[in-house]
Structure 1
Amino acid sequence: MIARTATDIPLLTWSIFDGHGVRAAVTTRDGGVSAGRYASLNLGLHVDDDPEAVRVNRERAARAFGAAPHDLVFARQVHGREVATVTEPGQQGIEADALITAETDPVLVIMVADCVPLVLFDPVRRVAAAVHAGWPGTVAGVTTATVLELQKQGTDPNDLLVGIGPSIAPDRYQVGDDVHVKAVEALGDRAGDVIRPDGTGRWLFDLWTANIIQLTEAGVRPDAIELAGLDTGPGTPFFSHRSQGPTGRFAALVQLKAPQSPENQDPR
């Protein structure tokens, strides 16, 4: 991932999407107007921040991404495996943890503050998806559900390109027995690859690897997955609900580029 500095709002991008007709980026907590626990680019309206500050922050994030604020599509994320298809910019009333679009106008937005944000793109069918995968969504299989929905709509999983954004790091994400049980139920023989005892009676859960396992088992090529490998929390440019909550939310954004007309294509 690299910093993009076209505006005063830093954005991080994945190189795997370069040149493929899609724009995808991750915001940080920097460059906004929120104060206190929410300083400064909080994009979440549901965390008791000043709504006017959030509105300004969303405008700034949209501008940095090269879009208009009314293009952004947010969902009420419920830590499940529901996948919703977006057909127009600014679409509202969505309750889901994964968004899919084949349209060029909407900007899909997934908000996080420790959970894993993923962007999936099919360069053959020109379809994009954004996924929110915390531990509940991961054990529920939201990433798998997204690939299956894309496949139902005609995507070959072997064509998918995937970017995995910043989230709580595997060596820092401590969970209890209840999560361990659900991880074993969800991942079976692969659970030992993602959750291990930490010596305190609790467990460390590797959300990055868990989602990579789900992607590859659904047919995504391992070499088509780019992991940011960036932690959230103190000392990082990302919000962390676990370390600092209540706090703000940063976001992953994705938008399909309009295809070039033949006369405007680069002949090289």
Structure 2
Amino acid sequence: MIAGTATDVPLLKWSIFDGHGVHAAVTTRNGGVSSGRYESLNLGLHVDDDPEAVRVNRERVAKAFGATADDLVFARQVHGAEVATVTSCDQVIEADAMITTEPGPVLVIMVADCVPLVLFDPVRRVAAAVHAGWPGTVAGISTATVQELQAGGSDPADLLVGIGPSISPDRYQVGADVEAKARQRFGDRAHEVIRPDGTGKWLFDLWRANIIQLTEAGVRPEAIELAALDTGPGTPFFSHRSQGPTGRFAALVQLSPQDQSEEDPR
């Protein structure tokens, strides 16, 4: 990912979306007004931060992104595999993935270790934002999102995907309950995503797990850009596991307005 913003709020961007008529970025924990555990750009209203500070932070992010705070669409993320369609900026969403074909809404997924993903179909001009923690990953949230896009007319081979900062495979320790669910989900490929760490527990590779789901659903491997950036101490990202209670950073995506008569990009 590369940094790029004209404001005091740093935004990281995936190069894979360049020139395709979509605006996607990831915030860091820097550039806001929150303090203490939530210093400084916390975007979550559900983590006991000062709501006024969060409001200011959201306004700052919207401005850096080239939008307004009223354009931001947040989901109540439930760690499942529900996918919601967003048609306006004032919807109340309860899902872990959002899809839109409208150029107005800015889809916002908040994380602090979990995997944020942005998907874009440059042919149909549809975007999606996905929250994939371990429960959503073993529930198949990435698969469900691609299938929902496909049901709407997308060819998975046309999709471009950005995977944002999240807890690294070498640091995400889980217990036997999660290990069993990962094995059940990934079957013969479980060895690619889960491995013993020598302490009686396991390391879960959420990056690889979601890439497997995406490619098995038909996304081309070369169309996936992995940030490969860890969260937590020493990084510019919040980490609930290392620092909780703490704030939330976000992945954002918005379709750019486009003349509907423009030729098919293929």
Shift of 1:262: 7.6
Per-residue Cα deviation, 1:28-55 (whole angstroms, up to 9, x for no partner) = 0000000000000000000000000000
Which residue of structure 2 aligns with residue 18 of structure 1? 18
TM-score (norm 1): 0.97
SS at match of 2:211: helix
List per-residue Cα deviations over 1:81-132 (Å, max 9, x = no partner): 000000011322x110000000000000000000000000000000000000
Aligned to 2:97: 98
Aligned to 2:228: 229
Structure 2 residues not aligned, in runs of 5+: none
Measured in 2, the distance between the counterparts of 1:129 and 1:235 equals 30
CA distance in 2, matches of 1:143, 1:216: 10
Measure, in 2, the Cα distance between the counterparts of 1:206 and 1:53: 34
Partner SS state of residue 143, structure 2:
helix
Please tell me whether residue 115 in structure 1 is matched to residue 114 in structure 2: yes
Q: CA separation in 2, counterparts of 1:237 and 1:54?
A: 18
Paired residue for 2:44? 44
Whichever residue aligns with residue 194 of structure 2, its letter is: I
Alignment correspondent of 1:9: 9
Q: Deviations over 1:131-152 (max 9, x none)?
A: 0000000000000000000000
- Pairing 1:58–2:96 present: no
- Specify the alignment match of 2:257 in structure 1: 258
- Structure 1 residue 134 and structure 2 residue 133: aligned? yes
C-alpha displacement at 1:21, in angstroms?
0.4
1-structure distance, mates of 2:101, 2:177 = 38
CA-based RMSD of the aligned residues comes to 1.3
1:17 counterpart letter in structure 2: F
2:72 paired with 1:81: no
Partner of 1:147: 146
CA distance in 2, matches of 1:176, 1:240: 19
User: Helix, strand or coil for the counterpart of 2:43?
Assistant: coil
Q: Secondary structure at the match of 1:62?
A: helix
Question: How does the TM-score come out when normalised to structure 2?
Answer: 0.97
Distance 1:106 1:262 in 2: 21
Name 1:214's counterpart in structure 2.
Answer: 213
Specify the alignment match of 2:175 in structure 1.
Answer: 176
d(CA) in 1 for partners of 2:90, 2:29: 23
Q: CA deviation at 1:57?
A: 0.3
